[in-house]
Structures are given as structure tokens and as C-alpha cells.
Amino acid sequence: MSQNTHTLHLFFEDPIKLKMGQLVYQYLATGNTEQARRWADKLGGADLDALWDAQWFNQEAVAEPGHLTLRFDTGTHDDLPLRALETLFAHGLRAAVLEVFYDQVGETERMHFDRGQWVSRRAFMDANPQWRAVVEPAQQDGEGQDGETEDRYACSKDPAKPLAVAKLRQQEEKRKREAQEAAEAFVEMAKAMGKSGKSPVQGLMAVLLLRAGLKGLVHAVVFTVVTVLLFKGFWLWMGLGLVLAVALPLYYMATEHKALRGDDGDDDAAPPGDDGPATVMAPQ
């Protein structure tokens, strides 16, 4: 069974917060929620349900000098531990690095967090150079210069600009919700078309073609508005806009249809190796 393997390095503001965090997670990893709740209260009343997802398995909490390392596995479609990070940043966490190995595709992804925000790898290292040897141990092994190290850690997933963990969690939840709604809508459409005797694939193609047509219409309207406002010749641009309002949707729909069919427009061409009856053309 495919799974996602997480390694989460947690760096707290001070040794006391670190010790409390270690006790919370070590008790959670062993299933002792009573003691975990006791230390969570000392940490500032952190919510255990937020700190620990019931879907995590193969969990391990390792207390290391100066930081805490969590290791756990999840299903391939489970969420990132953003809720836990958001809660920890409100209770003494200063920085964190999350590394996820996606077993299904054989890829690794690393995310860096500093003071409640998702930041780039470079920003994290600039703010926390003392922890580079922890999250990138190859530095201690002397493996190459900075350029080679950049290549080695190219799996880092960096934001365009710093983003609050709370905002990132909301975006991920919205994306997942929209994907679920789209999947459910397609299933309902497939059921409805199946009852009517129509192919769900044809229904999906119709939706995509309609979207392409609307895209062309929007482009035509934008072109008309911009040219009318910026250039002289009102009726000239209005007339051209009307022509584009017809031509662009047709062009985009034809292009989309060609892409969906995956051919070059020769619908009657027989596939290679077809042994069926062929039509012989008389010489001209």
C-alpha cells in the first residue's frame, strides 16, 4: 500500500518549551493521552486533536539536542500536518522543516517554516543558520560546495513570498474541497448521462468545449473594451469586436476539440495495422 512518509523537525523558542513539546509528543506517540494532555496544558493549553492526527501511523517522537523530530506515515491523500504546525507556532514553536516522501511517485518534498510562516529555503537558512546541519546533514559530510548543495536540495518547495501557516492551511482545505466537489459533480453528471443513454466522455467534452467558447468570448469582450477606450474609431472597433465575438469562440472550441481528439483532423484515416477492408481510389 502506498503511503506518505513525514519527517518533521521542530525548533522551539527556549529549552523549557522544547522539553514540554517533547513530553507531549512522546506521550502521544505511546498512546498515553492523559499525560500528553497534562503537558499540553503546561505548554499553554494546546489542543491535542490539533497536535496529533488520528490518521497518522508508524509514529515516532525523538528528542534530540536542541530540537524535536517527529516521524509518521499517512495515506497518499491525507493532509499535511499544517494544523499541528499552526497550533505549535501559537505555543512556543519558532521554526520547523517538513520533509515528505511520496511513495506513490517516489519523490521527496521539503517545506520550511519560520515564526509562523511558510518561507523559502534560503530565507529559512538565513534566519536560522545554526540549524542547517540538522535539516541538511550533508553539510557535515563535506559533500560539495554551495552550488552542489543547492542541486541536492532542489526538492525544496518554496512560496513566491512568505505565507502564514494558517492561510496556507485554509488554501489547502479550499483546494481539496473544490477537487472533491468537482469529482462529485462529474460522478453525478456521469450517472445522469448514463441514464439518458449518453456517454459521460461526450458530456465532459461538451463541458470543455463550452469553457473554451466562453474563454474566446471573454477575450473578444476585453479586446473590444480596451480598443474602444484607447483608440479612435468607435464603430470600427465595435464592428471588429463583434466579429471576434463570433470567431474567437469558434477558434478556441475547434482547437480544444482537436486537442481532445488527439488527432490531426483526418477522421477517416485507418489506424496502422488495420486489416479491415480498404477503399481503393481510382486513378485520376
Say yes or no: 104 and 203 in one domain: no
pLDDT at 269: 45
Alpha helices per DSSP H over the chain:
15-29, 33-42, 48-51, 82-89, 121-127, 132-135, 146-152, 165-195, 200-230, 234-261
Q: Are 110 and 99 in contact (CB under 8 A)?
A: yes
Asked if the structure places residue 56 within a domain, the reply is: yes
Say yes or no: 47 and 163 in one domain: yes
Q: Among 157, 172, 187, give the residue marking a domain's end.
A: 172
Q: Domain range holding 128?
A: 4-172
Rounded CA-CA distance 158/111 in Å is 7
Burial of 230 (0-12, 13-18, 19+ CB in 10 A): exposed
Say yes or no: 152 and 256 in one domain: no
Say yes or no: 45 and 142 in one domain: yes
Say yes or no: 119 and 255 in one domain: no
- Other CB atoms within a 10 A radius of the CB of residue 36 amount to 22
pLDDT at 71: 96
Say yes or no: 93 and 162 in one domain: yes
pLDDT at 238: 87
Asked if the structure places residue 194 within a domain, the reply is: no
- Cα-to-chain-centroid distance, residue 250: 33
Asked if the structure places residue 283 within a domain, the reply is: no
Say yes or no: 47 and 132 in one domain: yes
pLDDT at 237: 87
Say yes or no: 168 and 249 in one domain: no
pLDDT at 154: 58
Asked if the structure places residue 222 within a domain, the reply is: yes
Asked if the structure places residue 274 within a domain, the reply is: no
Say yes or no: 110 and 203 in one domain: no
Say yes or no: 207 and 134 in one domain: no
Asked if the structure places residue 141 within a domain, the reply is: yes
Strands 93-102 and 67-74: unpaired
- Looking up cell 503537558 gives 39
Q: Pick from 91, 95, 140: which is nearest to 114 by CA?
A: 95
Asked if the structure places residue 179 within a domain, the reply is: no
Number of domains into which the chain is organized: 2
Strands 117-119 and 93-102: unpaired
Beta bridge partners of 4: 74, 102
Asked if the structure places residue 227 within a domain, the reply is: yes
Say yes or no: 168 and 210 in one domain: no
Q: Over its length of 284 residues, how does the chain's per-residue pLDDT go in tens digits?
A: 679 999 999 999 999 999 999 999 999 999 999 999 999 999 999 999 999 998 899 999 999 889 999 999 999 888 899 999 999 999 999 999 999 999 988 899 999 999 999 999 999 999 999 999 999 886 444 444 444 444 456 588 999 999 999 999 999 888 888 877 776 766 676 666 667 666 666 666 777 778 888 888 888 888 888 888 888 888 888 888 889 888 988 888 888 888 877 654 444 444 444 444 444 344 44
Residue 15 has what DSSP assignment? H
Say yes or no: 226 and 163 in one domain: no
Q: Among 155, 172, 189, give the residue marking a domain's end.
A: 172
CA–CA distance from 151 to each of 139, 144, 177 (Å)?
A: 13, 10, 34
